[in-house]
Amino acid sequence: MVRRSVVVFLAVLTAVIGAGAPAAAHGGPRHVRGTETVPVYDYATAIRETVYVETPLDSDGDGVRDRIAADIVRPREATTRVPVVMEASPYYTCCGRGNESELKQYDANGNVALMPLYYDNYFVPRGYGFVGVDLSGTARSTGCEDVGGPAEVASAKAVVDWLNGRANGFTADGKKATASWTTGKVGMIGKSWDGSVANGVAATGVRGLETIVPIGAISSWYDYQRYHGLLRSEDYPYFLHSYVNGRPDAACAALVTKLRADSGEDTGDFTPYWAERDYRPAAGKVRASVFIAHGVNDKNVSTRQFGQWWDALAENDVPRKLWLYQAGHEDPFDVRRAEWVSTLHRWFDFYLQGLRNGIDREPRATLETAPGVWQDERDWPAKGARDRELPLGDGTLGAGAKGRGVTKTYTDESLREDALVANPTTVVPGRLAFVSAPLTAPLRISGDASVKLRIQVDKPTTALSARLVDYGSATRVDHFRSEGVVTLGTESCWGAASATDNACYLDTAEVTATTDHAVLTRGWKDAAHYKSLRFTTPLQPGTWYDVTIPLMHYDATLPAGHVLGLVLGQSDPQYTVTNDQNATVTVDAGRSSVTLPATGATVTAPVAAPAAITTTTLPGAAERRGEQAGPVVP
């Protein structure tokens, strides 16, 4: 797409970043003033070039090492070496980046004339290079896209190595290319799949990668394509490969066959295929600092992805920062634009330019606690959040629940979420609902909850689902509608321009709705994987089993007067491949509970029968009724 008027861009840019900056004193780089970089280099005349970087792998089996296209934009006038902001993506020519789905566009010489997003426009004038990398098997790169695997990670890592003189690079005509213009310090950034690549490269421990900024990103591809033994969609690895594939089908046919064979679709098991796509165990190798951003209502890349990664990084004392917001699968640029760009600028200045601006000493976590309400906190999960075990009773949840000797039975009905969580004090076939007494004070949930069930199942297995629900009226971000963000008719600009590439983007705003309940966090599990995700153990009728369902990481505060609910279901047509076994599950309530990371009010069960709770249909439910579980792209 061709971007909008440069005249509008210039007017807004002047207001946003000023008209320029003086040269640095004492012989320092021109782009540094005090403890920040400033825009002094001409973006319109920046050097634009493509280098094809050789990787150690031959993922398409053609006898030649893969070569990865790296499109570069860097300041022409810089007299000192500059660090690099880098985004590695499979989407640059197939699908687009950002809210406006921008694609790379090239000039007659094959050099990038329009680089998606604002990173190059904003940072190149401030003394950075920008590198947009086509992952293996996509766009102008050779090799094959193996969906989070060794070839994908190696393709981006090779570019970091080239920028540090450790890999070979070539121009289009085959001449050797070196990166003598850079310091070798690299910061990787990206949303969704792009941010997942940054996680994967950081997990290799590659030297020169100083920081990563994964936004709504994956840290375990198993957890993205599987829910604890349940398929999220059939033939998912192939779907993702084909969605971004830039090679002729025959070139990657062998790799596709291997993807299908190794991913264990017939069992849902965690196989060696998934182990090499799980970056979390390698958190101890990470040399880079990590700045994570994630929507707490992201139903595409679940919050478990950032939460498990965050915990692993914390265990290894990796420098880190976190932004959490109420939207779904969104970039913070489209949630809180000015503050995000400012924070990102300071983060890169600190870790790539070495400017001591104090961001490393600021609160580690920034959270949106209600629509448009933000607060900084020392760390995450919240200070004082401790695991509380809330027992189940006969339809009740919390301290004092009378569950001893109580069993509850339900048979699979494949309920959709709206029906599953509605009217929790009403008996609904296919689900069990448990509710607390109204809270006497606010309750903060911060971290990852889980549900422990003592069950009998009359089939060899069944799907199990669990949801924590906030029953109570509030104005909430409507993350079911456009992920919680609406695009406006105005625009703002975030960087400098060339004749073909400006940094003007349509403004956005959160979209809200007043609702009487909200699902907070979800979890799923195949019951036959109760011992391990690496193998199945068929269940025997009449035998009791302990099954734990992990829930997604979350942060929310329930006001006084609201009711906390737990709703159990089985097969789930909205989120998993429906595999209705028509199973009947018996739950021993006295030996079942919810473990909740929380601060604030004590969650107690109602003393008598719970007061009736009725709900209305959530906004957007009518549009969602046609949804079925199916492949989505990160």
DSSP, residue by residue, 456-477: EESSS--EEEEEEEEEEEEEEE
Residue 269 designated active-site: no
Amino acid at site 322: L
Of 59, 89, 192, 289, catalytic: 192
List the beta bridge partners of residue 106: 112
pLDDT at residue 27, rounded to an integer? 63
SS3 56: coil
**What stretches of 426-503 adopt beta strand conformation (E)?**
432-435, 443-457, 463-477, 485-493
**CA–CA separation, 364 and 379 (whole Å):** 5
Do 293 and 215 meet the contact criterion of CB atoms below 8 Å apart? yes
pLDDT score for 6: 37
pLDDT of residue 26: 53
Is the pTM value of this prediction over 0.85?
yes
Q: Which amino acid, one-letter code, is at 509?
A: A
Distance CA 169, CA 70 (A): 9
Residue 15 CB-density burial (10 A; 0-12 exposed, 13-18 middle, 19+ buried):
exposed
Residue 1 confidence (pLDDT): 37
Catalytic site residue 529? Answer: no
Sign (positive or negative) of CA dihedral 390, 391, 396, 398: negative
Domains in the chain, CATH or no CATH each: 46-377 (3.40.50.1820), 386-477+515-624 (2.60.120.260)
Handedness of CA 31, 33, 34, 37 (dihedral sign): negative
Give the C-alpha separation, 236 to 199, whole Å. Answer: 21
CA distance 16 to 14: 6
Active-site pick, 71, 134, 194, 298: 298
- Report whether 188 contacts 156 (CB < 8 A): yes
Closest CA to 397 of 613, 525, 567, 554: 567
Contact 216, 331 (CB under 8 A): yes
Return the structure tokens found at 489: 């008719």
d(C-alpha 153, C-alpha 197), whole Å: 6
Catalytic choice (228, 294, 329, 553): 329
Beta bridge partners of 368: 374
C-alpha to C-alpha distances, 554 to 167, 218, 295, 444, 598, nearest whole angstrom: 41, 16, 9, 10, 11
Can 298 be counted among the known catalytic residues?
yes
What span, in angstroms and rounded, lies between the C-alpha atoms of 359 and 336? 18
Closest listed residue to residue 423, CA positions, set 206, 614, 608, 236: 614
Tell me how far apart the terminal alpha carbons of the chain are, to the nearest angstrom.
Answer: 22
pLDDT of residue 28: 81
State how far the Cα of 255 lies from the Cα of 469, in Å rounded to an integer: 42
Q: Average pLDDT for consecutive 10-residue bins of the chain (634 residues)?
A: 37 36 59 98 98 98 98 97 98 96 96 97 98 98 98 98 98 96 98 98 98 98 97 97 96 97 96 98 98 98 98 98 98 98 98 98 98 98 97 96 94 95 97 98 98 98 98 96 95 97 97 97 98 97 97 98 98 89 96 98 94 84 54 92
Beta bridge partners of 569: 465
Model pLDDT, residue 481: 87
Which residue from 151, 135, 165, 141 is spatially nearest to 56, judged by alpha carbons?
Answer: 151
The answer to whether the CB of 327 falls within 8 A of the CB of 295 is: yes
Taking the C-alpha atoms of residue 295 and residue 323, their distance in angstroms, rounded to an integer, is 8
